[in-house]
């Protein structure tokens, strides 16, 4: 299929992008990697009057640290993040999730900001951002604002970003000592997750949980934080059978209140517990391995 007719702009400066967004708010769509927008346009599920190509805009593809944060430009390619030592050290959960996104060919074009702004409920990166308590830095002609992940994702393909806002960067707290795991179930490698679990934990020398962050994708209209389970894990050993049994139960009951009503809701609730348990085990094992290596 072919997209509906549209105008095209390829600005080279961020200010030009913001001006175009302000002038064409509600009609313009930003083109980052094109892995999400172009299929929607080809199916005519999206009919923007203006497509603004960000490919020539400088300064949007950085990877750096700043005062305890890992700062990632919105146009940073997913493959560049996957191969970054800074990401592997500073945000191990993000590093764990990246290889599961599509294939190398799609990650070489797909961008971090594009996936976050697209807000597909089955996508890995929104769940990772939520689990890491990350933030989005959005810009418009009205200025800059910071949007926490907890208030960013509203429903499927819908965020709290205004129509004239550009995602300039994404930042997450540096967490080099946390143990992390991302586990998902999909029909084939590279497919969107039917359900995925992002786990990031801080463990003591005695392997007791001092802090936990757990988010699921593919189970609701937006990624879901399992806050009750996070509280239950505090002070406990993740490898204990009773802890894992309780984690499985809480993961399942959390989805009962998440409003999942699609045809596969029953299946997803059935596998949510085992997926979370597997992710917790992987994180605990990773922490033990790191401790032994040191």
Query: Which ranges of the chain would DSSP assign to H, the alpha helix?
Result: 14-23, 37-42, 78-82, 85-90, 92-97, 104-107, 112-118, 124-131, 227-233, 241-256, 265-293
Cα angle for residues 104, 106, 107 (degrees, 5° grid): 60
Phi, psi of 56 (to 5 degrees): -105, 0
pLDDT tens per residue, range 204-237: 999 999 999 999 999 999 999 999 999 999 999 9
* Terminal alpha carbon distance of the chain: 55
| pLDDT for res 254 | 86
- Tokens 């300064």 identify what position? 59
| pLDDT for res 239 | 95
Alpha-carbon distance of 107 to 84, in angstroms, equals 13
The domain spans of the chain are: 7-53, 63-173, 179-293
Alpha-carbon distance of 104 to 99, in angstroms, equals 8
- Identify the bridge partners of residue 213 per DSSP, sorted by sequence position: 200
Q: What is the mean pLDDT of residues 133-155?
A: 98
Alpha-carbon distance of 89 to 58, in angstroms, equals 26
- Name all contacts of 58-67 with Cβ < 8 Å and 24+ positions apart: 58/12, 58/13, 59/14, 60/14, 60/113, 60/168, 60/169, 62/169, 63/87, 65/90, 65/174, 66/171
Band the pLDDT of 257: cuts 50, 70, 90.
low
Q: Which two tokens stand for residue 149?
A: 């992940």
Band the pLDDT of 263: cuts 50, 70, 90.
very low
Alpha-carbon distance of 210 to 197, in angstroms, equals 19
The answer, yes or no, to whether residue 185 has pLDDT greater than 70, is yes
Alpha-carbon distance of 224 to 103, in angstroms, equals 25
| pTM to 2 decimal places | 0.94
Tell me, which fold does domain 63-173 have in CATH? 3.30.465
- Tokens 């040191």 identify what position? 294
Q: Report the 10 Å Cβ neighbour count for 148.
A: 13
Band the pLDDT of 289: cuts 50, 70, 90.
very low
Q: What is the mean pLDDT of residues 238-248?
A: 97
Q: What is the mean pLDDT of residues 189-204?
A: 93
Alpha-carbon distance of 99 to 153, in angstroms, equals 23
Identify the CATH number of the domain defined by range 7-53. 3.30.43.10
Spell out a b/e string for 46-83, using b for 16 or more CB atoms within 10 Å of the CB, else e.
bebebbbebeebeebbebeeeeebbbbbbbbbbbbbbe
Identify the CATH number of the domain defined by range 179-293. 3.30.390.50
């Amino acid at each position: 299929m072919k997209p509906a007719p549209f105008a095209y702009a390829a600005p080279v400066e961020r200010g030009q992008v913001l001006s175009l967004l302000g002038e064409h708010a509600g009609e313009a769509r930003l083109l980052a990697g094109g892995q999400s927008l172009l299929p929607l346009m080809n199916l005519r599920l999206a009919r923007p009057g203006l497509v603004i190509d960000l490919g020539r805009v400088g300064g949007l593809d950085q990877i750096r640290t700043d005062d305890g944060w890992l700062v990632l430009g919105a146009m940073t390619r997913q493959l560049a993040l996957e191969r970054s030592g800074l990401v592997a050290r500073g945000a191990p959960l993000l590093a764990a999730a990246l290889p599961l996104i599509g294939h190398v060919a799609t990650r070489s074009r797909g961008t971090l900001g594009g996936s976050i702004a697209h807000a597909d409920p089955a996508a890995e990166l929104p769940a990772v951002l939520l689990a890491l308590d990350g933030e989005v830095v959005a810009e418009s002609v009205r200025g800059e604002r910071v949007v926490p992940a907890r208030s960013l994702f509203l429903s499927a393909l819908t965020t709290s970003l205004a129509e004239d806002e550009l995602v300039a960067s994404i930042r997450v707290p540096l967490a080099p000592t946390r143990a992390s795991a991302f586990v998902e179930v999909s029909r084939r490698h590279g497919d969107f997750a039917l359900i995925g679990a992002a786990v990031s934990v801080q463990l003591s020398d005695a392997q007791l949980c001092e802090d936990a962050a757990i988010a699921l994708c593919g189970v609701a209209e937006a990624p879901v934080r399992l806050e009750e389970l996070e509280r239950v894990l505090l002070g406990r050993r993740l490898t204990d059978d009773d802890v894992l049994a309780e984690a499985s139960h809480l993961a399942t009951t959390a989805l009962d209140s998440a409003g999942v009503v699609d045809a596969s809701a029953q299946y997803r609730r059935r596998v949510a517990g085992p997926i979370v348990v597997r992710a917790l085990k992987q994180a605990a094992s990773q922490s033990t391995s790191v401790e032994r290596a040191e």
